[in-house]
Amino acid sequence: MRKIAVFGAGYIGLVTAACLAELGHTVAVRDIQDERIRLLKAGRVPIHEPGLGELITGNAERLTFTLSAEEALAGTEIVYVCVDTPPTAAGDADLSRVWSVIGSLKGAEHLKAVVVKSTVPVGTGARVRAVLDESDLAHVGYASNPEFTAEGQAVADFMRPDRVVVGASDEGVIRLVTELHEGVDGPVEVMDVASAEMVKLASNAMLMTRISFMNEIAVLCELTGADVEQVSRAVGLDHRIGPHFLRAGIGWGGSCFPKDSEALKQLASNTGHHTQLLNAAIEVNNLQKRRAIQKLKDALGGLGGAKIAVLGMTFKPGTDDMREAPSTVLAARLLAEGAKVTCWDPLAPDGQPEPWASAVRHGSPQEALAGADAAILATAWPELRDVPWADVRDTMRRPVLFDGRNHLDPATMRALGFTYMSVGRP
Ligand SMILES: NC(=O)c1ccc[n+]([C@@H]2O[C@H](COP(=O)([O-])OP(=O)(O)OC[C@H]3O[C@@H](n4cnc5c(N)ncnc54)[C@H](O)[C@@H]3O)[C@@H](O)[C@H]2O)c1
Ligand SMILES: O=c1ccn([C@@H]2O[C@H](COP(=O)(O)OP(=O)(O)O[C@H]3O[C@H](CO)[C@@H](O)[C@H](O)[C@H]3O)[C@@H](O)[C@H]2O)c(=O)[nH]1
């Protein structure tokens, strides 16, 4: 069993650390946010991720949390880099936190390998390698080990992945990282560093493109009278296509797809290449939200002064993550059109910045809907299927509902007297 240091105690770092501890390794987690480390030391988990708290508690004797890089590195053989890589002002991935971690490794006596899990542009590994080679860490190996977990199911995804990708050129490092995954139920794919970095970006781009493709088909369904739910289900039954990531709606958001699509686009642009398919997928995604607002505007005859309830704020159900949530674009557009916005979400953290600071948040969908002229369902929370819609209808000023996730049954909602609109369904 190995002694590992994980840098970054966010969604990926904490899941990686807890799962490696569950596999029997000793893991020191380092972050630079006092509050995060204080909570973790007190046995509290700063993010919502099913099963994570239990894993951290169950492996407490193998997990430590610290603000000190030196403390984390004492006796450490492997460093996992799990820091955030947000967009720069130019849209490229900001690697400043990755470089800060690399800079803090000087003098780590027992270090054998640096493993990067953060999503980074292709070529980053080669740059890190060059920096290590010029330092006292020239003997330390390097691996790219990108992460494919989805929020809300990250622990299960880590333990039973479709694949583990290990990008490295040094046999010793390949063996080390492969051994770390003993007990993980999934195949290990070994390749060169640049290819591993590209697998991550290409996988996300493929998933986004599938969603945007089906969203474009949804528009054509609306124009022709077809039903995108039936279409996507039957299209997905073709084993060459498969059923996943074909759900039409107001589009993709989250901590990864928007920033990774932009980073891949800019990676190409920096070499003078124009990514046509990816650009189209991004544009279709942006349009989906604008189309939603236009539909409401048409249904209400204008949005000025109207009270609109936004149901669901997080970028998808099962997470508390608000990064690049499609709902935020909707709320901003509604306010810009002069509407008043109320909202509800079961997990979104309090104190969200604008546009949410200008919205009134309620503790239940019913309260958010009372007196509303219309509602937009933005996140497919299961709770929204259990709302007593017949009662709610009578509390709304106008029973108009735009279902941005095709989450409710059109016939039922219309039978209840709602003006019900959704995406790509008659
Ligand atoms: N969130 C996901 O589902 C997911 C999935 C796959 C890949 N990724 C990638 O993994 C990386 C991390 O994403 P995340 O969602 O966990 O981000 P996050 O913002 O939740 O966590 C990053 C953490 O790193 C900490 N940090 C910053 N600089 C540090 C330093 N020098 N030393 C130690 N800690 C430092 C931050 O304080 C923060 O707590 C990103 O590159 C992301 O693209 C994320
Ligand atoms: O058919 C679908 C599937 C998803 N979505 C939306 O797409 C976004 C992303 O969803 P999902 O992929 O489930 O969430 P993430 O946690 O962002 O995970 C993605 O991004 C991670 C970070 O890179 C990767 O590791 C994962 O493999 C990849 O699925 C959300 O807004 C969903 O509502 C759709 O609109 N239609």
Whether 330 maps to a domain, the answer reads yes
Residues 158 and 34 in one domain: yes
The residue nearest atom 13 of ligand 1, judged by CA position, is 84
Asked whether 119 lines ligand 1 (CB < 6 A), one says: yes
Contacts of residue 187, Cβ cutoff 8 Å, sequence gap at least 6: 163, 164
Whether 325 maps to a domain, the answer reads yes
Residues 186 and 262 in one domain: no
Binding site feature residues: 31, 36, 85, 119, 148-151, 200, 245-249, 253, 259, 316, 323
The reply to whether 256 belongs to the active site is: yes
Whether 92 maps to a domain, the answer reads yes
How much is the average pLDDT of 362-370?
A: 98
Residues 164 and 266 in one domain: no
Residue 312, Cα to own-chain centre: how many angstroms?
Answer: 16
Residues 167 and 265 in one domain: no
Whether 347 maps to a domain, the answer reads yes
Residues 187 and 261 in one domain: no
Domain end residue (candidates: 143, 165, 191): 191
* Ligand 1 centroid to residue 272 C-alpha, Å: 29
| pTM (two decimals) | 0.96
ipTM more than 0.90?
yes
**Dihedral sign computed on CA atoms, order 293, 299, 301, 304:** negative
Residues 305 and 398 in one domain: yes
Which residue of 6, 30, 82 sits with most ligand 1 atoms within 8 Å of its CB, as the best mutation to test the pocket? Answer: 82
Asked whether 314 lines ligand 2 (CB < 6 A), one says: no
pLDDT, tens digit, for every residue of 232-271? 999 999 999 999 999 999 999 999 999 999 999 999 999 9
Domain end residue (candidates: 157, 173, 191): 191
Residues 72 and 152 in one domain: yes
Residues 411 and 327 in one domain: yes
**Dihedral sign computed on CA atoms, order 83, 88, 92, 98:** negative
Whether 221 maps to a domain, the answer reads no
The β-bridge partners of 80 are 6, 115
Asked whether 13 lines ligand 1 (CB < 6 A), one says: yes
Residues 185 and 295 in one domain: no
Contacts of residue 57, Cβ cutoff 8 Å, sequence gap at least 6: 43
Binding site feature residues for NAD(+): 31, 36, 85, 119, 151, 259, 323
Whether 267 maps to a domain, the answer reads yes
Q: How many domains does the chain have?
A: 2
194 and 219 in contact (C-beta within 8 Å)? no
pLDDT surpassing 90 at residue 25: yes
Whether 227 maps to a domain, the answer reads no
Dist CA 135 CA 302 (whole Å): 63
Q: Which domain holds residue 272?
A: 257-421
Whether 106 maps to a domain, the answer reads yes
Dist CA 221 CA 231 (whole Å): 9
Domain end residue (candidates: 144, 168, 191): 191
> CATH number, domain at 352?
3.40.50.720
Asked whether 16 lines ligand 1 (CB < 6 A), one says: no
Residue 268, Cα to own-chain centre: how many angstroms?
Answer: 22
Asked whether 256 lines ligand 2 (CB < 6 A), one says: yes
pLDDT surpassing 90 at residue 107: no
Residues 151 and 75 in one domain: yes
pLDDT surpassing 90 at residue 321: yes
Catalytic choice (19, 82, 221, 256): 256
* Ligand 2 centroid to residue 224 C-alpha, Å: 28
pLDDT, tens digit, for every residue of 391-422? 999 999 999 999 999 999 999 999 999 999 99
**What b/e readout covers 140-176, taking b as 16+ CB neighbours within 10 angstroms?**
bbbbbbbbbbebbebbebbbebeebbbbbeeeebbeb
Dist CA 69 CA 32 (whole Å): 9
Average pLDDT, the chain: 97
Residue 189, Cα to own-chain centre: how many angstroms?
Answer: 23
Asked whether 423 lines ligand 2 (CB < 6 A), one says: no
* 3-state secondary structure at position 254: coil
* Ligand 1 centroid to residue 119 C-alpha, Å: 9
Residues 272 and 171 in one domain: no
pLDDT surpassing 90 at residue 17: yes
